[in-house]
Amino acid sequence: MRRLKIALLFCMTLISAELRGEGSSISDLEIGQLLLIGFKGHSIDEGLQTAIQAFHPGGVLLFGRNVQTVYQVAELTHAAQRLSLAHSKKPLLIAIDQEGGNVIRLRHAPPLPSALAIAQTKNPQIAEKAGRATGTLLRTLGINTNLAPVVDVSDPSTDTFLGTRSFGNDPGLVAKLSSHFALGLQAERVMPIAKHFPGHGDASGDSHFVAASSPLTRDEVMSKDLAPYLALSAALEKPWGIMLAHVSFPKIDPSKMPATFSSVIVQGLLRKELGDDVLVVTDDIEMAGASSESDIGNRSVRAIEAGADMVMIAWSLKVQKQVFSAIRKAIDTGRLKPERIRQSLRRIELAKSRYTTGDYKLPTVTKLKDAMKNPLFAEVGDSVLTAFVSANSGRTPASISTIEKSDEAVLLLSPRLDFIKSFRSAATGFQIRAVHLTPTQIAHVEREIHAHPHPKIVAYASGPQAVKFISKLDDGVKSRVHLVSVETSAMIPDADKFLSVLQPYYRHPQLGRAIASLILERETSSSHL
C-alpha cells in the first residue's frame, strides 16, 4: 500500500509539472531557435561567438556595422554557419536588409534602385531582375534571407517614414512589383521577408522612435494593405516570411496593442488570410514602437504568445540573454505552451530546409566579384533612368526651355562630383559654374548664389542633408532652382516654390547627363545614357 501511495504521488507530481510546463521537452537549444540576433563587429569573435555558444540562435542579422568588404562578409557568414553546426547541429538563417535605395547594407556599383524608383518602370520583369541580382549577391555571400521587399502601400507625397522604400500608393502596382521582386529572390534560394504587416503606410510616425498607430479598419486593411501579401501568397513557393509592424490598429484590435503583440492581428488576420506556413518574425524588439511593454523579456514572450515565430533582438547581447531567459521561464511556468513553441519550430525548420542547404563552402574571389558586378544591376538601373526621363520629358515646365546656349551661366550645385561630371558631358556649349555642395562649402555656395542673381540654378539633392540645405534657401532663390531630388515630396518643404522638382529616386551614374538633357533641351535627350 505504501508503495502504491508513493507511485500515485509520483504520477501526480509528473502531471502537475506537465501542467506547469516543466519537463515539457522544449530544450534550451530549441528556445534559441526562436531568436534572430544582431551583433557589433566584423567577425564572429566580436560577440557573435559568445551568443551562438550560449543560446544557439536560429538566425543572425547583419547590418552596415558588420560590413567592411564582401570578402569579409563571406568569411563571417561561413564562420558563423560552421560554429552553429558544431554547437547545435543546426544551420543559421542569415538575414540582411538589402532593399535598395537608401536601405542597402552591401554597396555595389551601380547600386540597386529604391522600390519607388523601380515603380517608375511599372514593369514586373524589372522588379524580378532586381530580386534575382540581389539574390545572387546575397547567396554568394552566404546570406539566405532578405528582409525585403517592403510591401507597405504608402503615399510618397505624405509619408516621411517609408519614403522611397515603398513601391508607392497603388495597391495593385505594389502587389505586382513586390511579388516579382520576391520571386527573383526565391529563384536564387533566398527567403523574402515582406514587411511591415499589416501595413505601415498610414501609420502616425516612425516606429523606430515612437509608438505608431494606424486609423484603418479591418475592411480598409483588407482592400488596401493586404493586397500585396495576398499576391505574394499566391505567387511564391512556401515557405516565405513576414515581418510584423510595431504599429497598433485600434479599429481592428481595441486593446491598442502593436501588431507585434496582437493575436487578433497575427492569428485572426495574418494566419487566417495567408496560411500556416508563413514564417513570422518581429521587427527589432528593442525599438521604441514596441515600448508599450517596458520589460524587454516580456515583450518577447508576448510576441510569441501572439503568434510570432522568431523574435528579433538586433543590438545587445545582454538583452538577448534576457529574452532567452524570459522565454525559458514562460515555458517552465506554463505561460507558453509546448505546442505553441513547436508550431514555430516547425516553421523555422521548414525555412531552413528550403534556404540553408549548401551555405557552407566559401566562394572564390572571382565568384564574389562576379556577383558584385552582375549585369542585371546595370540593366535595372538603366531601365529606371529611362522610365524617369520618359515620364518627365513631356512634363518639363515651359520656363525650363528659357535656358539656351549662350553666355548666361548655369549654376550647378551638387554634393556628388560624379553628377557634376555627368551633367557637364551633356552640356557642351553652356557655361556651367559647378560648386561642390558639402557642409564645409555652405558659405561659398551662398556667396555664389547671391553673386550671380540671373543664371538658372540646378541643385542636386542626393540625400536628406542636401535637401535640408536647399530647402532653407529664400523663396526668391528657390524660384530659380531646378531641384533634382532622390528623396520623396514629403521630404521637401515648399516644393511648389521651386522652378521645377525632378525626382528620379535613384543615384544613377549618368543621372547628371539625363538631367542636363531634360533641363537644357538638348538634342542629346534621346541618348542620355
* Tens-place pLDDT, residues 417-459: 999 999 999 988 888 888 888 777 667 777 777 777 767 889 9
Pairing of strands 98-100, 103-104: antiparallel
The answer on pLDDT for 414 being more than 80 is yes
CA 450 centroid distance within chain: 41
- The pLDDT-based confidence of 520 (bands split at 50, 70, 90) is confident
Instruction: State percent of the chain over pLDDT 70.
Output: 87
The answer on pLDDT for 10 being more than 90 is no
Average pLDDT, the chain: 87
Q: Give the span between the Cα atoms of 50 and 53, in whole angstroms.
A: 5
> Roughly what angle, to the nearest 10 degrees, separates helices 124-140 and 365-372?
160
* pLDDT computed for residue 25 by the predictor: 84
Question: Active-site positions?
Answer: 208, 283
Q: Give the span between the Cα atoms of 103 and 162, in whole angstroms.
A: 10
As a whole number, mean pLDDT of residues 209-232 equals: 89
Residue with more model confidence, 300 or 474 = 300
Q: Give the span between the Cα atoms of 164 and 126, in whole angstroms.
A: 17
* pLDDT computed for residue 449 by the predictor: 77
Q: What is the pTM of this model?
A: 0.89
The answer on pLDDT for 399 being more than 70 is no
In the chain, the domains with their CATH numbers are 33-375 (3.20.20.300), 397-526 (3.40.50.2300)
Q: Give the span between the Cα atoms of 38 and 52, in whole angstroms.
A: 11
Answer yes or no: are the C-beta atoms of 311 and 36 closer than 8 Å: yes
The answer on pLDDT for 19 being more than 50 is no
As a whole number, mean pLDDT of residues 67-95 equals: 95
- Shortest CA distance to 159 belongs to which of 149, 150, 169, 151? 169
* Tens-place pLDDT, residues 140-184: 999 999 999 999 999 988 887 888 999 999 999 999 999 999 999
DSSP code for 454: S
Cis peptide before 482 (omega within 30 of 0): no
The answer on pLDDT for 493 being more than 70 is yes
CA 271 centroid distance within chain: 23
The answer on pLDDT for 409 being more than 90 is no
DSSP code for 443: H
- The pLDDT-based confidence of 400 (bands split at 50, 70, 90) is very low
Residues 226, 229, 233, 237, Cα dihedral to 10°: 180
* Tens-place pLDDT, residues 240-272: 999 999 999 999 999 999 999 999 999 999 999
The answer on pLDDT for 300 being more than 90 is yes
Q: Which three cell numbers stand for residue 377?
A: 544591376
The answer on pLDDT for 1 being more than 80 is no
Residue with more model confidence, 460 or 201 = 460
Cβ contacts of residue 59 below 8 Å, gap of 6+?
35, 36, 37, 92, 93, 94, 95, 145, 310
- Shortest CA distance to 118 belongs to which of 377, 431, 471? 377
* pLDDT computed for residue 405 by the predictor: 46
* pLDDT computed for residue 292 by the predictor: 61
* Helix residue ranges per DSSP H, 426-491: 442-451, 464-471, 475-478
Q: Give the span between the Cα atoms of 522 and 351, in whole angstroms.
A: 53
- The pLDDT-based confidence of 526 (bands split at 50, 70, 90) is very low
Q: Give the span between the Cα atoms of 261 and 267, in whole angstroms.
A: 11
* pLDDT computed for residue 157 by the predictor: 86
As a whole number, mean pLDDT of residues 455-475 equals: 86
The answer on pLDDT for 467 being more than 50 is yes
- Give the bridge partners for 197, in sequence order: 244
Residues 189, 190, 196, 201, Cα dihedral to 10°: -90
Helix (H) or strand (E) holding 21: none
Q: Give the span between the Cα atoms of 200 and 413, in whole angstroms.
A: 34
* Helix residue ranges per DSSP H, 156-225: 171-187, 218-220
